[in-house]
Amino acid sequence: MVPGILARTAILALLWWIITQGEVGAWLIGLPAVVLAAMASVSFGGAALSRVSLLGLPGFVALFLRESVRGELDVARRTLAPTLRIQPGFKNHRLQLNDPSARIFLTNCISLLPGTLAARLDGDHVEIHLLDASADPEPDLRRLEQAIARLFDLSLETNDA
Amino acid sequence: MIEVMASLLTVSGVGFYLAGSIGLLRLPDLYSRLHALTKADNLGLGLLIAGLALHTQDLLIALKLVLIWLAVLAASAASAHLIAQHARRRETQS
């Protein structure tokens, strides 16, 4: 509990420092705000987010940026073509991540990455809307899940049902 | 040199915003249009911010711009998910 508060206070203080661009007088408001926000954030839970592994961070950021550019170019080609080359549809994906906050993080990443949109999170399944439902999104989703598991230092459920 | 890079990044960011807006107008249904929205926020704003960050040549301002990008991404992903989820619930219930 206590290390959690300390780490969050440090991160929030860093954020405040960036937002105020190092303005010294702003700490008068910033210090109490940072401490209160850290306490509030601990009481909200979000266990996985306090466990971000610095080893997993570069891998995840690289994957996210690479996939964003690759997917966006593909989507732009499809939507700007004289006749729309899309085939929208839904697919179900079974989540291998167990942790609730990591699952929400994954759903948000799916929505931000081009071509996929997480429509509904239901138990251990997420319903994904695809701009091109003829392609199989599974390999990309697996890679994303693995990167997020490494980011939060979690293990994936590996029973292949 | 840095100025040229910054301008290139900013212009390509604007290009992706344009592509996103065209997508928003052309795509046929709610879900596909949400795709166009969230993606403009991701790569369009991302490139725009990368360009601006290079342009300022001030680390603190650059970090602040990255924070703005992350905040917009969180808001964009959450709102797209909420809209899609609501629409999907309605569809499957009726």
pLDDT band at A1 (very low <50, low <70, confident <90, very high): very low
Residue A135's pLDDT band (cuts 50, 70, 90): confident
In a domain, A112, yes or no: yes
**Are A78 and A14 found together in one domain?**
no
Q: Does residue A28 form part of some domain?
A: yes
Residue type, B10: T
Residues of B in contact with A126 (CB under 8 A): none
pLDDT of the residue at A45? 67
Q: Do B88 and A131 touch (CB under 8 A)?
A: no
A145 within domain boundaries? yes
Write the DSSP string, chain A.
-HHHHHHHHHHHHHHHHHHTTT-GGGHHHHHHHHHHHHHHHHHT--GGGGG--TTHHHHHHHHHHHHHHHHHHHHHHHHHSSS---B-EEEEEE-----HHHHHHHHHHHHHSTTEEEEEEETTEEEEEESBTTS--HHHHHHHHHHHHHHTT--------
Name the residue among B88, B32, B3 with its Cα closest to residue A116.
B32
Q: Which of A19, A75, A108 is opposite residue B39, by nearest beta carbon?
A: A75
Please tell me whether residues A9 and A68 are part of one structural domain: no
State mean pLDDT over A121-127: 86
Cβ neighbours for A20, distance < 8 A, ≥ 6 positions apart: A26, A30
What lies within 8 Å, CB to CB, of A32 at 6+ separation is: none
* Digit-coded pLDDT (tens) for A23-42: 899 999 999 999 999 888 88
- Whether the per-residue pLDDT at A44 is higher than 80: the answer is no
Q: Is A161 on the interface with B (CB under 8 A)?
A: no
Q: What is the mean pLDDT of residues A36-52?
A: 76
What is the 3-state secondary structure of A55-84? Answer: CHHHHHHHHHHHHHHHHHHHHHHHHHCCCC
Cβ contact A118–B29 (<8 Å): no
Contact B81 A108 (CB under 8 A): yes
pLDDT per position as a tens digit, A143-160: 999 999 999 888 776 644
Domain count, chain A: 2
Contact A88 B67 (CB under 8 A): no
**Token pair 């405040």 in the structure block, residue:** A16
A contact residues 129-158, partner B, Cβ 8 Å cutoff = 129, 131
**Is A17 within the bounds of a domain?**
yes
For residues A58 and A125, membership in a common domain is answered with: yes
For residue A156, being part of any structural domain is answered with: no
Query: Between A2 and B29, whose confidence is greater?
Result: B29
The tally of CA atoms less than 13 A away on the side-chain side of residue A68 is 22
Amino acid B94: pLDDT: 59
**Predicted local distance difference test score (pLDDT) of residue A13:** 93
Whether residue A86 is contained in a domain is answered as yes
Report the pLDDT value the prediction gives residue A128, as an integer from 0 to 100: 93
Q: How many beta carbons lie within 10 A of that of residue A53, not counting itself?
A: 14
Are residues A79 and A122 both part of a single domain? yes
Q: What pLDDT is stored for residue A8 in this prediction?
A: 84
Q: Report pLDDT digits (tens) over B40-92.
A: 778 899 999 999 999 998 899 999 999 999 999 999 999 999 999 999 888 87
- Whether A161 is in a domain gets the answer no
A63 shares a domain with A117: yes
Confidence of residue A137 (pLDDT cuts 50, 70, 90): confident
Q: Does residue A159 lie in a domain region?
A: no
Q: Does A76 touch chain B (CB under 8 A)?
A: yes
Contacts of A76 in chain B (CB under 8 A): 16, 19, 23
Range of the domain at A65: 53-151
Confidence grade of residue A46 (pLDDT, cut at 50, 70, 90): low
Please check whether residues A66 and A112 belong to one and the same domain.
yes
